[in-house]
Structure 1
Amino acid sequence: MKHIVILFITIANVLFAFGQEKKNVITNNIEVGYDKTTFIVFGSEVDFFDVGSEDLLFEITAKPNIVKLKGAVEGFRETNVTIVTKKGEYYSFIVKYNANPETLNHIFTTDGNPVLMDKEEFKEQKEQASLLKDFDYVEKKISNETPINTLSSFEYRMGLAVSGIFVYKGNIYMKLVMTNKSSIDYNVDALMFSVQPRRKSRRATSTQDVYQQPIHSKNLPKSVLANQEVKNILVCFVPFTISNDNVFDIQLVEKEGSRTLNVKLQSKHILSAKIIQ
């Protein structure tokens, strides 16, 4: 009986405390896109957060009172985000997809004063905006390009192909195609990029592989349905080159399956990338 009384008192205290802080609860509807980043600025540092769906990318920036949101996939379903600041302010957001959000910066400061952004953060936002603009430009320019010397891998009635390599403002863009000619859907677990020795010795280990992280990507599917082809997958990398002793490996891994595909690019393929004017 003593335990029950203690439990009751604890619950009552929590409810009372919540009632006292209820005035700090703010609920908002916000729109988030896939190609544009939405920022939320709070009056104090973020202490706790919860994101309702993995289709929504959430990141606390170098300034811990600023977070950024972006769609991991296009057209994601409505979801929610919960945030609690170190001042105990509780925020609840309903997040809806919009390819072109009307508002990209949401500011919730308690004192009403403007938020000052340091030079590094401003530079990062400016570079990100410039990259997205460049990405859209490249996508439009190569939309009607006829594939020349396509590099591909086709096994298990599943195909992965590089239908074009391009350079714009120094960055490297690769256009990919995934083709499923089987009767079984192909669920994508990972698409990985790495620089590997062209001929691995028997003593070679995974440490010889240097993984390359794209700085942006678009149209990457979660799955390729049976008898479906997904075109116009675009990934972008900072400038890089490889020696003749290495290859640039693109690996597509199936989720809960064994259909792993690899396309290997040589140095000459990257150096022959088409320049976008």
Structure 2
Amino acid sequence: MRTVSVVWIMNLGLFLTYFSGNAQQPAQSIPSRELQITYAKTTNIVFPYAIKSVDRGSKDVLAQKAGGMENILQLKAAKEDFEETNMTVVTADGGLYVFTINYARNPDLLNLLLVKETQTSGTIQFDNQMVNEAQLGLDASLLLDAHIKTIRKRDRKFGITLLLTGLFIRDNVIYYRLILENDTNLSYDVDQLRFFIRDQEKAKRTATQEVEVKPLYVEGNISRISGNTQQIVIFALPKFTIPDGKYLAVLLMEKNGGRNLDLKIRNNTVVQAMPVASSYSSN
């Protein structure tokens, strides 16, 4: 009986050792930043990426984005001497920022700049309806320098060329790589470069429709093309295909000028988009 007890205890010890060694690692804690705000002054927080959502633990904290700025959050106390609360901010790069907020008549600081960090803020995954801005920037920078050319469509007038040289796709985003070329001695100031889904040309007196497609991200200079130079620009657009009887129009218009271009892209071109990953091997 004594021998059995010793064996049982040894087996129990081995089991507990195995279990503790293979137990799931504890979840990583997201640090909370201490922040003071007041009633009569505004506190500004500058985030490294655009703000996607803000959740306040209490209505005693007033929060808004700065006018015209997507990455600056302005805070103020709705009343004096409120109880401690918290706030959570999600940014476009997937960053999760947590703040513990207290009232102070004279806060230690009124302007806080949060630089791009690694492992100090939480990371979240966006659903299919949201786009990670940091990923867009990485892909666009890569494609800007990629040597691979997958497509060649162009419109040319008055010495100005609008050339499509590549279509790339990642998840729900298609990247359009365009070259804006100026073969004249006159600089070209860009008034606008926009994307529309338009009806094919029809007979006169027939109503036509167009829908603008807003870029999610733009990489490159689209303000001016100096004489005898070219610019490469990456536009990230939401993934879509073009119905029969329609086309994608890339409209380039000159500021205070008439050298306007209209590049037509049809569905049989869009479906040739290559995975973004294919451009990694080309560099």
- Return the TM-score normalized by structure 2: 0.58
* Aligned partner of 1:44 among 44, 49, 62: 62
In the alignment, structure 1 residue 114 sits paired with structure 2 residue 86: yes
Equivalent pairs counted in the alignment come to: 196
Distance 1:142 1:222 in 2: 17
Q: Which runs of 5+ in 1 are unaligned?
A: 1-22, 52-56, 59-67, 70-104
Post-superposition CA distance 1:96-134 (Å, at most 9, x none):
xxxxxxxxx76634356312569xxx9999646724224
The letter for the 1-side match of 2:211 is V
Distance 2:47 2:178 in 1: 26
Distance 1:209 1:40 in 2: 32
Q: 1:140–1:203: structure 2 CA closer, same or farther, 3 Å change rule?
A: same
Mapped contact 1:251–1:260 kept (Cα < 8 A): yes
CA RMSD of aligned residues (A): 3.5
Percent identical among aligned pairs is: 17
Greater Cα radius of gyration, structure 1 or 2 = 2
State the secondary structure of the residue aligned to 2:236: strand
In the alignment, structure 1 residue 193 sits paired with structure 2 residue 165: no
In the alignment, structure 1 residue 240 sits paired with structure 2 residue 207: no
Q: 1:123–1:238: structure 2 CA closer, same or farther, 3 Å change rule?
A: farther
- Return the TM-score normalized by structure 1: 0.59
Q: Which aligned pairs between 1:34-113 and structure 2 lie closer than 5 A?
A: 36-37=49-50, 43-44=61-62, 57-58=68-69, 68-69=70-71, 108-110=75-77, 111=82, 113=85
The letter for the 2-side match of 1:194 is F
In the alignment, structure 1 residue 24 sits paired with structure 2 residue 31: no
Distance 2:215 2:239 in 1: 11
Distance 2:43 2:236 in 1: 36
The letter for the 1-side match of 2:156 is F
Q: Which runs of 5+ in 2 are unaligned?
A: 1-38, 55-59, 97-123, 278-283
State the secondary structure of the residue aligned to 1:253: strand
Distance 1:144 1:223 in 2: 22
Distance 2:226 2:219 in 1: 18
The letter for the 1-side match of 2:50 is T
Mapped contact 1:40–1:107 kept (Cα < 8 A): no
Residue equivalent to 1:228: 229
Distance 2:47 2:224 in 1: 23
State the secondary structure of the residue aligned to 2:132: helix
Residue equivalent to 1:90: none
Q: Which aligned pairs between 1:136-147 and structure 2 lie closer than 5 A?
A: 136-137=138-139, 139-140=141-142, 143-147=145-149
Q: 1:159–1:141: structure 2 CA closer, same or farther, 3 Å change rule?
A: closer
